[in-house]
């Protein structure tokens, strides 16, 4: 492979997605090396099809402070609708923070693409490539590329530079109960927890385990162990019963102790219980209650 071809690999994702070629109506140099200039912030509008739907207010505030001190380091990417109107392809968070910082203009890369479909594809892929979305947004993005643009998982994998299994795992997160999806988006549990919970078909049980993850701060490994017990329900009802007992016992201990409790099982099947009390007096009161 020549040096020229090696350098081109990094840009292959968008090229593959947009199907650009020497004879296409859009000049490839405008996609790979867009011009940059300051644009009046009032002339810029957000993309109504922006794949990112969660904008953390604290992140925006911190970015606003940074922009006030240092300016916008990385230009946003826009397309020209008219001489007086531009639409954001990527960089809406920087755009919002710049407005809050009181900037009258913002540095922009202008990409010479006019087709609405290609604009949306580019916006989706650029966000994913910058890891700028939460796991659920990424899953929704991949699903949209499949449903709206007839792309398959292999194509998406090639475009965004991710393993096929990784793309599939993000899409599978969308099978979770909406409450659990919100928990992932808000950072209450990780994608690893979500991947474990996907294997539970019963949405009610999903939520029970989800609540246990939150209340007891279960690790992904602990969650996987509970899930494994429930996946074998058809083979052995005992495993399912043990998992439910684990959840029920923890909840009851927490209610009794008025404290966070952790149940841990070792390789020999022995279970240990850990609880934290504010003082020795609180522990004494619990012991007294138990003895009565």
Q: How do beta strands 35-40 and 105-110 pair?
A: antiparallel
User: Are 50 and 122 within 8 A, CB to CB?
Assistant: no
- For residue 187, give Cα distances in angstroms to 48, 174, 192, 214, 263: 25, 16, 12, 11, 23
Question: Is 92 a residue of the active site?
Answer: yes
Task: Take residue 214 and report the two structure tokens written for it.
Answer: 């939150």
Place of tokens 């808000």: 186
Q: What are phi and psi of 112, to 5 degrees?
A: -80, 65
Look up residue 53 and give its two tokens.
């739907």
Find out whether 156 and 142 touch, Cβ atoms under 8 Å: yes
* Residue among 87, 112, 88 at smallest CA distance from 31: 112
Do 54 and 67 touch, CB atoms closer than 8 A? no
Comparing CA positions, the residue from 111, 118, 93 lying closest to residue 36 is 111
Q: Please report which helix (H) or strand (E) contains residue 17, including its range.
A: helix 12-18
Residue 125 near residue 31, CB atoms below 8 Å: no
- The residue annotated as part of the active site, out of 61, 80, 87, 92, is 92
List residues with catalytic annotation.
92
């Amino acid at each position: 492979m020549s040096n020229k071809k090696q350098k081109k690999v990094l840009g292959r994702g968008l090229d593959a997605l947009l199907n650009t070629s020497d004879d296409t109506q859009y000049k490839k140099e405008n996609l790979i090396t867009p011009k940059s200039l300051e644009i009046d912030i009032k002339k810029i509008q957000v993309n109504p099809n922006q794949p990112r739907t969660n904008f953390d207010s604290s992140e925006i505030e911190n970015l606003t402070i940074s922009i006030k001190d240092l300016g916008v380091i990385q230009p946003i990417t826009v397309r020209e609708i008219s001489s007086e109107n531009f639409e954001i392809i990527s960089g809406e968070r920087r755009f919002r923070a710049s407005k809050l910082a009181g900037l009258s203009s913002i540095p922009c890369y202008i990409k010479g693409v006019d087709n609405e479909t290609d604009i949306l594809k580019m916006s989706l892929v650029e966000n994913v490539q910058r890891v700028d979305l939460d796991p659920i947004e990424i899953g929704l993005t991949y699903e949209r590329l499949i449903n709206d643009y007839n792309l398959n998982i292999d194509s998406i994998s090639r475009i965004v530079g991710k393993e096929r299994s990784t793309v599939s795992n993000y899409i599978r997160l969308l099978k979770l109960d909406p409450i659990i999806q919100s928990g992932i988006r808000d950072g209450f549990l990780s994608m690893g927890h979500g991947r474990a919970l996907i294997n539970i078909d019963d949405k009610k049980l999903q939520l029970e385990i989800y609540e246990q993850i939150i209340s007891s701060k279960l690790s992904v490994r602990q969650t996987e162990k509970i899930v494994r017990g429930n996946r074998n329900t058809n083979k052995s009802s005992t495993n399912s019963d043990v998992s439910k007992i684990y959840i029920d016992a923890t909840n009851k201990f927490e209610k009794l102790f008025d404290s966070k409790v952790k149940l841990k099982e070792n390789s020999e099947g022995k279970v240990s219980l850990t609880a934290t009390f504010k003082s020795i007096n609180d522990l004494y009161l619990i012991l007294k209650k138990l003895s009565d």
